[in-house]
Structure 1
Amino acid sequence: MAILDRLPTRVRLMRMGLVIENDRCIFCDLVPETRNHIFFECDYAKSLWKAILLLCGVNRRISHWEGELSWAAHCLKGKSLLTRVFKLALTSYVYVIWRERNKRLYGGLLRPMSDILLSIKTDIQIRLDGWPINRSDSRNIALCVSWGIS
C-alpha cells in the first residue's frame, strides 16, 4: 500500500471527496499529510529513519520517498547480514510510522521515539532469531551489537 501510494493519508482522503477538517501532518502539524511527507520529509520521521541508518552503520543525507527506495534498491543487494537487517528495518519502519500515525490520530496516544525505535529493534531481533550469522566478520559483530541481535 505504501509503495503504491495507496495509504489513506489526509490529502488522499480529501482528493477522494471526504471532508477532512485538518490536512496537516499528525507528527509536525506544519504541512499537508502525504505519504512522502510522513515517511521521509517530516522531521519526526527523518529523526527515526536517521537513527535506523546509524544503527546499520550508515551515515548519509536522507532523501525523499523515491530517493530512499531507489538508494535501498541500488545499494542493498545480496544476502549479507547488513542487507537482511536493513530490509527488515525499512519494512518495520514503514509499518511503525503508519501505526504510530493511526494511534495518534484515532487514539490520541503518543509514544516517545525511543519506544518506537525499541519496537523496531525488537521486531528485527525476533525475525533474525535462528538465522545463521557469520560472527567472524567484524561488520556483522558491530551490527549485532547495535541491534541487540544475539
Structure 2
Amino acid sequence: MEVYGSKDIWLWGENGKDTFSVAMVKNLIREGMEDRREQLMQWETWIPMKVNLFVWRAEMERIRTKVALMRRRINVQDGMCSLCDSGDEDVMHLFTGCTFSFGVWLAMGKWCNIAPIMAFHFKDLLSIQDQVPGCKWAKKVIRGIVMVTCWALWKARNEKVFQGTNPKVVEVVAMVKSWSFLWLKGMSKFANIVWKIGLLIRCI
C-alpha cells in the first residue's frame, strides 16, 4: 500500500471519472430496486382521502391482514379469513376469493347495472371500469364504487375482528350504496343526482 500526501478526492462512476452527487446516488438506488410494482390504482377525487390511501396500500399488500401480521411475526390466533373462515386471509383472498366478498361484488354489479364483477386478483378490481361502456365520468363513478366496496369490506372485517359482530352481505351492500351516494353528491360535480329505487339517477 502506498500513501500519498495529496488531498483525498471522491472517485465515482465506472472509471472513477464522473462527478459525485447525492442525486446520482438516489438514481442508482432507484435503478437497483428489485421491488418494482406496476400501479393500477388511480386516485379518485370524489372519494375521501382515507379510502384512496387504503386502496393504494391494499394494491401493494400493505394492509394488516392476518397473513401480513404473521409475516411480521405478530401472534394471531389463526390465519383464516375473518369474513368466511375459509382460506388464508391475505389481500387477494379477502377481496377476490372470499365467499362473503363474492356475494357483495355480485350485488354491486347488479346495482351498477354492469356485468357480474369477477376478479381473481386485487388488480383485476382496479380495472373493472375499463370494461364499462360510456364516457369517462361513468368510468370514474364505477372506479369509485369499487374503491368504496373495498373499504366497506375492510370495515366489516375489522368490526368482526375487534367488536365481535356478525356482518351480513346485505348490510355491507347497503353501506356501499349510502356512502357512494353521499360522497358522489357532496364531493363531485354530480350534486344533482337523486336516489331512486336503489339506483343513482343523475338529473339532467
Q: Give the greater-gyration-radius structure (CA).
A: 2
Aligned-residue sequence identity (percent) comes to 21
Amino acid corresponding to residue 104 of structure 1 in structure 2: K
Show the counterpart of 1:147: 199
How much has 1:128 moved relative to structure 2?
Answer: 2.5
Deviations 1:73-130, CA, capped at 9 Å, x for gaps: x3358533x3233122111111111111110001101232212111111111112226
Aligned partners of 1:118 and 1:144: how far apart in 2? 14
Equivalent in 67, 77, 80 of residue 124 of structure 2: 67
Mark the CA change 1:54 to 1:26 in structure 2 (over 3 Å): closer, same or farther: same
* Alpha carbons 1:11, 1:34 under 8 Å: kept: yes
How much has 1:134 moved relative to structure 2?
Answer: 9.5
Equivalent in 60, 64, 67 of residue 4 of structure 1: 60
Structure 1: give runs of 5+ residues left out of the alignment.
136-140
* Alpha carbons 2:125, 2:146 under 8 Å: kept: no
Deviations 1:125-147, CA, capped at 9 Å, x for gaps: 11222634899xxxxx9x96542
Mark the CA change 1:103 to 1:134 in structure 2 (over 3 Å): closer, same or farther: closer
3-state SS of the aligned residue for 2:85?
A: coil
Between 37-46 and 50-59, the greater mean CA deviation after superposition: 50-59
Aligned positions, number: 142
3-state SS of the aligned residue for 1:19?
A: coil
* Alpha carbons 1:10, 1:20 under 8 Å: kept: yes
Instruction: Map residues 1-150 of structure 1 onto 2, 5 A cutoff.
Output: 1-60=57-116, 62-64=118-120, 65-72=122-129, 74-75=130-131, 78-80=135-137, 82-129=138-185, 131-132=189-190, 145-149=197-201
How much has 1:70 moved relative to structure 2?
Answer: 3.3
3-state SS of the aligned residue for 1:110?
A: coil
Show the counterpart of 1:138: none
Mark the CA change 1:75 to 1:23 in structure 2 (over 3 Å): closer, same or farther: same
Question: What's the TM-score once normalised by structure 1's chain length?
Answer: 0.80
Amino acid corresponding to residue 26 of structure 1 in structure 2: S
Aligned CA-pair RMSD? 2.7
Question: What's the TM-score once normalised by structure 2's chain length?
Answer: 0.61
Structure 2: give runs of 5+ residues left out of the alignment.
1-56
Aligned partners of 1:57 and 1:14: how far apart in 2? 39
